[in-house]
């Protein structure tokens, strides 16, 4: 790791002192727990002696691959066989001292392993049990497995991605996983606030389908907000095929005038001048929306007349939203991301230097950093057990 500053120590961070038991695998649950770990929680990643999928919980099956480095940083790892009586007893001892348990088991598996809320609250009434799954535990799909691609398709997201008239298209990242993970992290913090006021723990769950559907329908519910519906379902400006990056002479550019003033400035800068100044199709927000296809066809034609840098130089002083459209491999060298130091280099004790992104939320007094590499299988079992024994001795 890099040299430690005072703010890198867990005791200086907002969640220091909270104990989290992480039973999650794949990506959605670990995304939520990573938030807690980054902000100082004492996260104990619990795995069976051999991972449930033979890979120790890794998304890709590669221990300490890119997913592990990202999702399991700042955690400690222990091995416990929850199916064995001794392992189950040890888990209950950990629950007695924990603040939060996070899992993504099916409902019947939770009960069988003693991880459902009814059983955990008997051990520790203050414990918060946070669950994440594809479809939740109720409803017709409550017993179905759900992964990102399945949820993307069912939510309708694939139907509005890609070219109009084309086949449904998957978003290029695991957006259902990460969205649900962020919701779960937020939910856990709210449950902690409730407990601070009342002393009560509680059960909370985040179904991936409901998360991504709620994101989509904010923009696309439109005419179906009221009952009976007052218009067409959908948001034509989002669905319009011309609302996309535009090809320039030498690359691609993200360009989106929005206000009346910005559109007037763009028309002048693009050389449309008098030919469009008095065109009633583009006079204001509502007329532009009705003629959105013609409008973006004009933008597309204009974009091809200049290089990317020429457009950036021309439009930046006008405060028109405009950026170069980056490829993923260009991001570490993006001048803005370099200046804000999003990408940072760390040293792994076995694998050498690796690049990682710092947490994007910035706190003035309690900034976080990466303090621990993802744990090896059971790397901290002895240390965690020693803490449990010492804590029980203190309680005696």
Q: Judge whether 155 lies within some domain.
A: yes
> Is there a single domain that holds both residue 204 and residue 252?
no
The CA-based diameter of the chain, rounded to the nearest angstrom, is 86
Q: What is the dihedral of CA 19, 21, 25, 30, to 10 degrees?
A: -10
CA distance 242 to 163: 10
> Is there a single domain that holds both residue 88 and residue 195?
yes
How do the pLDDT tens digits run along the chain, 396 residues long? 433 443 445 568 999 999 999 999 989 999 999 999 999 999 999 999 875 444 554 554 566 778 888 899 999 999 999 999 999 999 999 999 999 999 999 888 999 999 999 999 999 999 999 999 999 988 888 888 889 999 999 998 998 887 777 888 999 999 999 999 999 999 999 999 999 999 999 999 999 999 999 888 777 777 877 888 887 776 665 666 777 899 999 999 999 898 999 999 999 999 887 778 788 999 898 898 889 889 999 999 999 999 999 999 999 899 899 999 998 899 899 999 999 899 988 888 888 888 888 887 777 777 777 888 888 889 999 999 898 888 876 664
CA distance 56 to 46: 10
Q: What is the dihedral of CA 70, 75, 80, 86, to 10 degrees?
A: -160
> Is there a single domain that holds both residue 12 and residue 152?
yes
Asked whether the beta carbons of 242 and 297 are under 8 A apart, the reply is: yes
pLDDT computed for residue 5 by the predictor: 40
**Which one of 295, 324, 353 terminates a domain?**
324
CA distance 243 to 208: 27
> Is there a single domain that holds both residue 28 and residue 177?
yes
> Is there a single domain that holds both residue 174 and residue 27?
yes
**Which one of 271, 296, 324 terminates a domain?**
324
> Is there a single domain that holds both residue 194 and residue 296?
no
Query: DSSP class of residue 300?
Result: H
Q: What is the dihedral of CA 228, 234, 235, 236, to 10 degrees?
A: -120
- Where b means 16+ CB within 10 Å and e means fewer, 36-52 reads bbbbbbbbbbbbbeebe
pLDDT computed for residue 349 by the predictor: 83
Chain centre to alpha carbon of residue 264: 37
Q: Judge whether 336 lies within some domain.
A: no
Q: Judge whether 230 lies within some domain.
A: no
Q: Judge whether 237 lies within some domain.
A: no
**Which one of 324, 346, 375 terminates a domain?**
324
The total of structural domains in the chain comes to 2
> Is there a single domain that holds both residue 62 and residue 155?
yes
Residue of 143, 177, 313, 329 with catalytic role: 177
Q: Judge whether 223 lies within some domain.
A: no
Asked whether the beta carbons of 36 and 20 are under 8 A apart, the reply is: yes
CA angle 334, 338, 339 (to 5 degrees): 120
Any catalytic annotation for residue 177? yes
Asked whether the beta carbons of 124 and 115 are under 8 A apart, the reply is: no
> Is there a single domain that holds both residue 211 and residue 114?
yes
> Is there a single domain that holds both residue 119 and residue 177?
yes
> Is there a single domain that holds both residue 57 and residue 129?
yes
From the CA atom positions of the chain, what is the Rg in Å? Answer: 25
pLDDT computed for residue 237 by the predictor: 55
pLDDT computed for residue 239 by the predictor: 60
- Helix crossing, 175-198 with 148-155: angle to 10°? 90
3-state secondary structure of 75: strand
CATH number, position 260: 3.30.1540.10
Token pair belonging to 304:
């091809």
Q: Judge whether 311 lies within some domain.
A: yes
CATH number, position 71: 3.40.50.10540
> Is there a single domain that holds both residue 45 and residue 118?
yes
The pTM is what?
A: 0.84
Q: Beta-carbon neighbour count of residue 387 at 10 Å?
A: 17
Q: Let me know if 193 is exposed, middle or buried by CB neighbors in 10 A (0-12, 13-18, 19+).
A: exposed
> Is there a single domain that holds both residue 78 and residue 149?
yes
- Where b means 16+ CB within 10 Å and e means fewer, 367-382 reads bbbbbbbbbebbbbbe
Query: DSSP class of residue 6?
Result: G
pLDDT computed for residue 2 by the predictor: 39
pLDDT computed for residue 144 by the predictor: 86
Q: Judge whether 143 lies within some domain.
A: yes
CA distance 1 to 261: 49
What lies within 8 Å, CB to CB, of 349 at 6+ separation is 373
Q: What is the domain range of residue 306?
A: 246-324
Q: Judge whether 372 lies within some domain.
A: yes
């Amino acid at each position: 790791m890099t040299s430690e500053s005072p703010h890198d120590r867990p005791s200086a961070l907002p969640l220091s002192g909270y104990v989290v038991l992480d039973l999650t695998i794949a990506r959605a649950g670990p995304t939520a727990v990573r938030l807690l770990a980054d902000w100082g929680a004492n996260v104990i990643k619990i795995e069976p002696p051999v991972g449930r999928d033979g890979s120790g919980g890794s998304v890709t099956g590669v221990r300490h691959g890119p997913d592990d480095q990202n999702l399991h940083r700042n955690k400690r790892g222990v091995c416990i066989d929850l199916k064995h009586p001794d392992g189950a007893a040890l888990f209950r001892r950990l629950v007695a001292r924990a603040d939060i348990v996070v899992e993504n088991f099916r409902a019947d598996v939770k009960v069988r392993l003693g991880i459902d809320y009814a059983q955990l609250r008997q051990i520790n009434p203050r414990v918060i049990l946070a669950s994440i799954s594809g479809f939740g535990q109720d409803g017709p799909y409550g017993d179905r497995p759900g992964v990102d691609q399945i949820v993307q398709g069912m939510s309708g997201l694939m139907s509005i991605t890609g070219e109009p008239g084309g086949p449904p298209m998957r978003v290029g990242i695991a957006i259902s996983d990460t969205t649900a993970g962020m919701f779960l992290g937020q939910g856990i913090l709210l449950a902690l606030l409730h407990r601070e006021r009342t002393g009560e723990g509680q059960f909370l769950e985040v179904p991936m389908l409901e998360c991504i559907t709620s994101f989509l329908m904010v923009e696309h519910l439109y005419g179906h907000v009221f009952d009976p519906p007052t218009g067409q379902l959908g948001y034509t400006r989002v669905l319009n095929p011309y609302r996309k990056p535009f090809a320039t002479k030498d690359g691609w550019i993200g360009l989106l005038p929005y206000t009346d003033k910005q559109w007037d400035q763009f028309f002048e800068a693009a050389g449309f001048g008098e030919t469009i100044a008095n065109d009633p199709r583009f006079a204001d927000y509502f007329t532009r929306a009705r003629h959105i296809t013609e409008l973006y066809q004009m933008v597309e034609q204009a974009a091809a007349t200049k290089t990317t840098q020429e457009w950036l130089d021309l439009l930046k002083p006008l405060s028109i939203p405009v950026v170069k459209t980056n490829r993923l491999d260009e991001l570490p060298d993006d001048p803005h991301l370099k200046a804000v130091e999003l990408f940072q280099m760390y040293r792994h004790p076995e694998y050498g230097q690796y690049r990682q992104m710092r947490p994007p939320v910035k706190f003035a007094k309690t900034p976080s950093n990466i303090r621990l590499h993802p744990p090896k299988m059971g790397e901290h079992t002895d240390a965690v057990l020693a803490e449990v024994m010492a804590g029980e001795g203190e309680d005696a």
